[in-house]
Amino acid sequence: MLNLMEITESNKESLISELKGRVTETEQEIISSVNSILSRVKKDGDKALFELTKSFDKVELKTLEVSTFEIDECFNKVEKEFIEALEEAKANIKEYHEKQKSNGFLMTKDKGVYLGQRVLPLERVGVYVPGGTAAYPSSVLMNVIPAKVAGVDEIVMVTPPDKNGGINPYIGVAARIAGINKIYKVGGAQAVAALAYGTESIKKVDKIVGPGNIFVATAKKLVFGEVDIDMIAGPSEILVIADEKSNPCFVAADLMSQAEHDKLASSILITTSKELHKRVEMELERQVKTLEREEIIRTSLENFGSAIICRTIEECINISNSIAPEHLELMVDDPMKYLGMVRNAGSVFLGRYCPEPIGDYFGGTNHVLPTSGTARFFSPLSVDSFIKKSSFIYYSEEALMENGEKIITLASKEGLTAHANSVKVRLENGNV
Amino acid sequence: MLNLMEITESNKESLISELKGRVTETEQEIISSVNSILSRVKKDGDKALFELTKSFDKVELKTLEVSTFEIDECFNKVEKEFIEALEEAKANIKEYHEKQKSNGFLMTKDKGVYLGQRVLPLERVGVYVPGGTAAYPSSVLMNVIPAKVAGVDEIVMVTPPDKNGGINPYIGVAARIAGINKIYKVGGAQAVAALAYGTESIKKVDKIVGPGNIFVATAKKLVFGEVDIDMIAGPSEILVIADEKSNPCFVAADLMSQAEHDKLASSILITTSKELHKRVEMELERQVKTLEREEIIRTSLENFGSAIICRTIEECINISNSIAPEHLELMVDDPMKYLGMVRNAGSVFLGRYCPEPIGDYFGGTNHVLPTSGTARFFSPLSVDSFIKKSSFIYYSEEALMENGEKIITLASKEGLTAHANSVKVRLENGNV
């Protein structure tokens, strides 16, 4: 099912641009319709939210906020082993993200000068959580826990109500386990608008995170600047580097684990073994038939699946660095030996028993990762995503007297005499 | 000159929205013309750069790269005290930014599991530096030094040539002092295109930073995603909190130091003293006549200058937190006592002898700061701006055997059977 390629400098480029080509421009029609939803919520607040929810979600709500009782009920509806697994995943994710916390600093210098940097949590964060069939409780943990660890005061969730005005019970459970302060039954562009501008029920936030459909993604792009947003995720990607000793059954399973997300998902095998590639193809055919999303997987692999044969693992990694995949599996012996060569990858899965879903659900690393080659310059969602930094500096009178002329020289050469003047007035009047 | 306001909850909002209102939408005409420049450079590379430079900068170049000899010449053209002041500024900026470096981490867990995060510098960064009258050598230091400290392999600069095909000597000197690898004589949207797509002479970069006119800013927005960019800066802002003991001469000078940047700049005084406000007004009138940019300053203060009288310093800070200014001066005794109350501000200048230009030029903190209220969620330019993070995780066979079922449970509840399958095949074949 994979498109077999011999890599040269020229088709490496075309492979990379194909990956990026999967992201298409948002149609003007969608932008206009999202824009009109945004203005309506900005103007009419809750009233607009109730009306839009009636029209899109086919349900007439009386209140937006999910009650404590409703969340209690969610716990009665889901399996005990699900709750236990989620609690354990939470502990792993929290433990990992705690290590990401950074401290500010203070430097003291001669003549009483001091300067430094503070790390401050954002005050309010909104998390978008899709409802219906694309309800992913794991996403709730991945988006909320880093914000919690960062020290965000208030984390609210928005999620579309079902036709009975309820919410997905798995999402309700995940929200309480993650530590969400409030949940509102509202979805789509209208939910993003409520978080960005505030309404009577929903307070304006500083940042909106979480996945959503094209309307949600477009709304997030349009409110960016008014509030901060997370990355807009493109279709998922997995790149598996495997040697001749790799189990083709595992390799095939891992390639399909991302292919099932989306017909636009991309799964790439880079291997030193032609034999392995052949056996992986056989495994793909054998296993795909057993999977619920067979059709999506076939389409995705046929369009965006590739197999690349290299001479050495080092060469495999070089190609992977050019591609900068979201997920990279290093299915080799002693994988740590190669980690240092990996320059561009969102998250790296090491060894033969570390399939990518460990990172999606359980291991502790975040599953919100840069796609479409942006791992060249973007990072996974992390505690950093929920803090801001602020610098400060103190100069004593004595320190300004000593350094003032230099500052005046630099400002004057830039033609900024009012900048120079602010120092000058102090040098002149300093002793008045 | 300042618009005197009594603060209530309602006009606080209007003050904030006025600040944001200074940022206007880019006209469709500019977007189209920038788009056509981008495509032209993408298609024709260097040839397009030479042609566009001829048409916009009125100079026919033979090569784009600035030679070592040309930079040597720059050093002959500028004053010795400028070079010395710039060298000292560099040392201060470097010392401060060194403290921002962060480390990755590794956690080891039971059953051989380990996971962690690496911090990796970006590989190539492009710095845009305006030419002509808006040539700011201080910006070269502020954009380049954090990238250097981050460990970026290659930092290149683009700057428009003058009519003789030369570059501004102050910029040339600043570039060498900052440690730029290469300088190219190209400006405008075409320079941004060259950095984003690469040409025969200029290699594609991972991130583009640095200020520029509307064409440069628009080009940066349009190539975002292909490469990373820094924040698009809005008009500058200063907010001075001053008590009754403050010197009105200093306060007035500091307000004007930002007002001179731009007719859209905003300067706000928040004080506990009506008397101080009156005397500041007198000082503004007296000092403005001595400044080169008198007209810009008057227009800026009349349109976007405000004075707000509060009862306590705490109240002053609360209002400042709502505004989230780019620069905040705390002109009070014992300013550190109040720093903890400041939640939203790009950079804070403490005490009576710490005018904002210390941070623009010399003190060590960065002068690239979040504007238009975005200090609520954005941070100053820093070493963080030039690194990416990448997570990694290793699971042993034993650890997967122990935790596999939990991962299968979580994946199955999300309907992702191929995710579950990647764990399942290992649980089944693990001993094969």
Whole-angstrom CA distances from B168 to B188, B227, B325, B403 are 16, 27, 32, 63
A102 labeled part of a ligand binding site: no
| CA distance to partner chain A, nearest, from residue B16 (Å) | 12
Domain ranges for chain B? 3-20+234-363, 28-229, 395-429
**Quick check: do B3-20+234-363 and B28-229 share a fold?**
yes
Element (H, E) at A37: helix A28-44
Tell the residue number behind the tokens 């909850």, with chain if given. B9
Res B187: pLDDT: 96
- Using CA atoms, how far apart are residues B165 and A131, in angstroms rounded to an integer? 60
Least confident among B126-140, B204-218, B300-314, B399-413: B126-140
Q: For the domain made up of A3-23+234-363, give the CATH fold.
A: Rossmann fold (3.40.50)
Q: What is the pLDDT of residues A222-263, one digit of tens each?
A: 999 889 999 888 899 999 999 999 999 999 999 999 999 989
One DSSP character per residue, B337-382 reads HHHTT--S-SEEEESTT--THHHHHTSSS-S----TTGGGT---S-
Say if the Cβ atoms of B356 and A89 lie within 8 Å: no
The mean pLDDT value for A307-321 works out to 95
Active site residue: B237, B326, B329, B356, which one?
B326
What backbone torsions phi and psi does residue A195 show, to the nearest 5 degrees?
Answer: -70, -35
Least confident of A108-117, A225-234, A300-309, B102-111: A225-234
Q: Which pLDDT band holds residue A345 (cuts at 50, 70, 90)?
A: very high
pLDDT at B432: 40
Positive/negative CA dihedral, A431, B2, B8, B12:
negative
pLDDT score recorded for residue A106: 98
pLDDT score recorded for residue A20: 66
Give the best residue of A103, A391, A431 to mutate against chain B (max B CB count within 10 A): A391
Q: Are strands A237-242 and B228-229 parallel, antiparallel or unpaired?
A: unpaired
Instruction: Please say if B327 is a catalytic residue.
Output: yes
- Give B184 to chain A, closest Cα distance, Å: 21
- The pLDDT mean for chain B works out to 94
Are A5 and A306 within 8 A, CB to CB? yes
Is A287 known as a binding-site position? no
- Confirm if B204 and B176 have CB atoms less than 8 A apart: no
How high is the pLDDT of residue B135? 82
- Written as one string, the DSSP assignment of A128-151 is E---GGG--HHHHHHHHHHHHHHT
- Cβ contacts below 8 Å, chain A against chain B, sum to 376
DSSP code for B123? S
Measured distance CA(A352)–CA(B286) in Å, rounded: 75
Scanning B206-293, the segments in alpha helix (DSSP H) are 214-223, 248-259, 274-288
> What pLDDT shows up at residue A17?
72
A327 assigned to a ligand binding site:
yes
Would you state the pLDDT for residue A26? 74
Q: Taking CB atoms and an 8 Å cutoff, what residues of chain B touch A407?
A: 85, 357-358, 361-362
What is the distance in angstroms between the Cα of B64 and the nearest Cα belonging to chain A?
A: 25
Judging contacts by C-beta atoms under 8 Å, the chain B residues touching residue A418 are 253, 256-257, 259-260, 291-293, 297
Could you say which of B327, B329, B356, B367 is catalytic? B327
CB nearest to A418's CB, from B291, B353, B403: B291
**d(C-alpha A336, C-alpha B402), whole Å:** 22
CA distance B129 to B152: 18
Contact criterion met (CB below 8 Å) for A324 and A40: no
Which chain B residue shows the shortest CA-CA distance from A423?
B355
Q: Helices A214-223 and A28-44, interaxial angle, to 10°?
A: 60
Concerning whether A97 is annotated as a catalytic residue, the answer is no
Q: How far apart are the first and last CA of chain B?
A: 83
Query: For the structural domain made of B3-20+234-363, what CATH number should be given?
Result: 3.40.50.1980
DSSP H or E run through A76: helix A68-77
How much is the pLDDT for B15? 72
Percent of chain A with pLDDT over 70: 96
Report the distance separating Cα A132 and Cα B210, nearest Å: 44
Q: Given A326, A329, A356, A367, which residue is catalytic?
A: A326
Contact B363 A390 (CB under 8 A): no
Q: What is the pLDDT of residue A371?
A: 93
Q: How far is A417 from chain B (nearest CA, A)?
A: 6
Where is pLDDT greater, at A430 or B127?
Answer: B127
Tokens found for residue A21: 């080509």
Alpha-carbon distance values, A25 to A218, A273, B329 (Å): 10, 38, 43
Domain spanning B28-229: CATH superfamily: Nitrogenase molybdenum iron protein domain (3.40.50.1980)
| CA–CA gap between residue A430 and residue B16 (Å, rounded) | 34
Count the helix, strand and coil residues of chain A and give each as a percent rounded to the nearest 5. Answer: 50, 15, 35
Instruction: Give chain A's end-to-end CA distance (angstroms, integer).
Output: 83
Interface touch B418/A393, C-beta < 8 Å: no
